Structure 1
Amino acid sequence: MRADLGDLQAFLAVARAGGFREGARVAGTSASGLSEAVRRLEARLGVRLLHRTTRSVRPTEAGARLLERLGPALGEVDAALDVVNGFRDRPAGTLRLNVPVSAARLVLPRIVPPFLAAFPDIRMEVIAEDSFVDVLAAGCDAGIRYDERLEADMIALPIGPRIQRFATAASPAYLRRHGKPQHPRDLLGHACLGGRFASGTMIAWEFEREGEVVRVDPRGPLLVSLGAATDLAVDAAIAGTGIITLFEDWLRPHLDSGALEAVLEPWWPSFSGPFLYYPGRRLVPAPLRAFIDFIRASAG
C-alpha cells in the first residue's frame, strides 16, 4: 500500500501544527489543499488519521502512530535530497530554528540579516517559544537554548554573547515613592513584577555577590508568562508599577534612557550565553551547515 509523498507531508504539517490553517501557513500552501491531501491519504489507507472539530485537529490513535514514525522517515528523505545541495554554487532551502523569545529578541537580530544577505537562496523560519522541545519532532533543523537545557546527544555551538547578566530595575518614580532596596531580601517588601514558564513554574530571582547567593520569590501586582508577555512587565516597570528582573540587554535601552534605574547592580548575576544545538546523529542539511559556518566565521 503506497501513499503519495506529498500527501504524507501534508498530514505531517497538519498534525504538527494542530490545524489546517496553521499547517498551511507553515507549509506555504492552502488549507483546502492540505485538507484534500489528508482525505486522499485516509481513503488510500482506509483509516481515519485525524479527529476534526470546529476548534481543533488532533491525531487519532492510528494517526499518532503514523506521526511517530513518519517524522524521522521524512527527515531522512529531506536529508538525502539535500545532498544535491552540495553540488550547487550556493546552498538553498529552508532553515527552521526553534529559539526562546529572548534569543529572537537579543541574539538573532545581529546575525540573521547579514546571514540572509550572504545566502539569498536560503529561507529562514524562526519559531520563538520558551518551552523545551525536541527539534526534530517539531520539524526544526536546530534550536537555541542555554547550556543547562541541552540534551546530551546534541552538538552545541556557542552563538551570541558568551556572558550575559540579569538586571534588576525600577522607574525613578517608583524608587522615590518606595525607596531603593539595598539588599536582595529588601525586595520582599516591594512590588515585584514576576514571571513564570509555560509549564506554570514560578521564576525565583537569584542574586550573587562575593560568593553569597540569595534567592527571592517575587511577589507583587503583576505576573506574566515569559516570552510573549515580557514586554508588558517592562512597560509596567517603566510606568512605576514595580521592580523587574530581566536580561540586562533587554532592559539596557531603558536604563540608558533613564526610564528605568538600576537596582542592586552589585548583585546582578552573570551566566554563560546561549548555544545553537542540533542532532549529531544525522546529516546536517545544507542551509544549517551554511548557518553553522557563518556563526563560526563571525565568532572568529
Structure 2
Amino acid sequence: MQQADFADLDAFTAVARARGFRAAAGPRNVSASSLSEAVRRLETRLGVRLLNRTTRSVTPTEAGQRLLERLSPALSDVALALDEVNAFRDSPTGTLRLNVPVVTAKVTLPRLIPKFLAQNPGVAVEIVADDSFIDVLAAGFDAGVRYDERLDKDMIAVPLSGPQRFVIVGAPAYFAAHGRPTHPREVLDHACIRHRFASGASYPWEFEKDGEVIRLNPPGRLTTTDSDLKLAACEAGVGLLATFEDFAAESIAAGRLETVLADWLPPFSGPYLYYPSRRHMPAPLRAFVDFVKAERGA
C-alpha cells in the first residue's frame, strides 16, 4: 500500500467516526478541506461513494460502513504497534488529545498540564474545552474528562482532583438590597444567573441536607454559556449564581462575592479522566495517567 493510500484511509476513518469533516479536523490539527480532499481521492480510487454529505451531516454509505468496520481494527493495530516502539524511548513522544468540560479547563488542568509538559518534553497536548458531552473517542480524542454521573460504565476512570463543591454566591450590594435566602426554596424569589450548555440544556440547582434533596429551576435574569460573564454579572449585582467553589474562590476571598446556603451544598466527587479499557494505550496517554496517579498519591 502506498503512503498516500494509508493516509487517505486514515482520513476517511476519522471523518466517518466523527460524522463530520470539521469535527474530525480539530483534534488532528488539519483543515477540514484537506480531509475532504483525501476522502474524495479515496472514493475516486475505489470507484464507490463512501460518505453521504449534506449541509447538516456526514454519514457513511453502506459501502463506507463496511469499510469502516474492517479498517478500524487494522488501524488500531498499527497505532498500537507504533506505540509499542514508542515505549522503548527514554521518554514518550507524540500528541495527547483531551476533551474536557470548560470548568475543568479553567479550574483543574492549569495546575496539572504545565508540570506534566515539563516532565514529558516529547509530548504535546491538545485540549478542547467542550460542555456538549460528545463521543470523544469517535471524535479522535485519546481520553476525556467527565463527572461521576456522566461516566460510561465500560470506561476506566482516574480521579483528576479531590472532592469539589458548588456554592451559591451573590454580591454584597445584591444581598443588601434583596436579603439572603435562608432556605433553598427562597431562591425562587431572587434574581438568578443560569448556565446554558451547548446542548441547550440548563440543569436544575440541587440542594441536599439531612437526606432531603431539593432540585429547583429558578428564574434566570441572565442565562449564558460563558462562565466568565456569569461571574462578572454576579459581582455586578445582577443576581445569585450557582457555580463551582474553586471558580469563585478568588472573588469570595476578595470580598466581591459572598456565599449563602452553604449547609445545603455538600461536597461531591471531582472530575475523572476516562479512557477505554484496553491492554495497550498510546504512550502519551499512559504517561499522563501515570502522572495524574502520582499527583493524586494513588
* TM-score of the superposed pair, with normalisation by structure 1: 0.87
1:257 aligned residue: 254
**Where do residues 61-210 of structure 1 align in structure 2 (5 Å cutoff)?**
61-62=61-62, 63-67=64-68, 70-160=71-161, 162-210=162-210
1:127–1:32 distance in 2 versus 1, CA, 3 Å = closer
CA distance in 2, matches of 1:73, 1:179: 64
Give 2:220's aligned residue: 220
Question: In the aligned structure 2, how far is the partner of 1:68 from the partner of 1:196?
Answer: 36
Q: What is the identity, as a one-letter code, of the residue corresponding to 1:218?
A: P
Give the 3 Å change call, closer, same or farther, for CA 253–71 of structure 1 in structure 2: farther
Unaligned runs of 5+ in 2: none
Aligned to 2:282: 285
TM-aligned CA deviation for residue 247 of structure 1:
0.6
**Unaligned 5+ runs, structure 1:** none
Letter in 1 for 2:132: S
Contact 1:184 1:214 in 2 (8 A): yes
Q: Secondary structure at the match of 1:125?
A: strand
Alignment pair present for 1:236 and 2:233:
yes
Q: Write the letter of the residue equivalent to 1:40.
A: R
What residue is the counterpart of 1:275 in the other structure?
Answer: 272
Q: Contact conserved, 1:192 with 1:242, CA < 8 A, in 2?
A: yes
In 2, Cα distance between the equivalents of 1:125 and 1:216?
Answer: 37
Q: What displacement does 1:187 show?
A: 0.6
Cα deviations by residue, 1:53-88 (Å, 9 ceiling, x for unpaired)? 6x5662342445544554454233211211101111
Q: How far does residue 20 in structure 1 lie from its aligned partner after superposition?
A: 5.1
Distance change (3 Å), C-alpha of 1:75 and 1:98:
farther
Q: CA contact under 8 A between 1:159 and 1:295: conserved in structure 2?
A: yes
Partner SS state of residue 45, structure 2: helix
List per-residue Cα deviations over 1:247-271 (Å, max 9, x = no partner): 1101111111222111222222210
Q: By how many angstroms is 1:15 displaced? A: 4.6
Q: Percent identity?
A: 57
Q: Residues 126-170 of structure 1, C-alpha deviation per residue, up to 9 Å, x if partnerless?
A: 12222334332121221211222222221111212x211100001
Tell whether the 8 Å contact from 1:181 to 1:264 is kept in structure 2 after alignment.
Answer: yes
CA distance in 2, matches of 1:72, 1:198: 32
276-285 vs 101-110, greater mean Cα deviation: 276-285
Deviation of 1:272 (Å): 1.2
- Which segment drifts farther, 283-292 or 17-26? 17-26
Looking at structure 1, the residues matched to 32 and 263 of structure 2 have their Cα atoms a distance apart, in angstroms, of 54
Distance in 1 between residues matched to 2:32 and 2:291, nearest whole Å: 35
After superposing the two structures, state which structure 1 stretch, 181-190 or 276-285, moved more. 276-285
Per-residue deviation, 1:29: 4.0
Contact 1:206 1:269 in 2 (8 A): no
What is the alpha-carbon distance in structure 2 between the residues aligned to residue 76 and residue 128 of structure 1?
A: 29
Residue 104 (structure 1) shift: 1.2
Q: State the Cα distance separating 1:8 from its structure 2 match.
A: 1.3
Deviation at 1:211, TM superposition (A): 3.4
In the alignment, the residues of structure 2 paired with residue 282 and residue 135 of structure 1 have an alpha-carbon distance, to the nearest angstrom, of: 19
Letter in 2 for 1:255: I
Contact 1:170 1:240 in 2 (8 A): yes
Matched residue count: 295
- SS of residue in 2 equivalent to 1:168: strand
SS at match of 2:278: coil
Question: Cα RMSD over matched residues?
Answer: 2.6
Please give the secondary structure, in 2, of the residue aligned with 1:107: helix
Structure-2 separation of matches of 1:30 and 1:156 = 32
Deviations 1:259-291 (A, max 9, x none): 211122222221011221111134111111111
What letter is aligned with 2:257?
L
Partners of 1:67 and 1:235 lie apart in 2 by 47
Q: Is the 8 A contact 2:14 2:139 kept in 1?
A: no
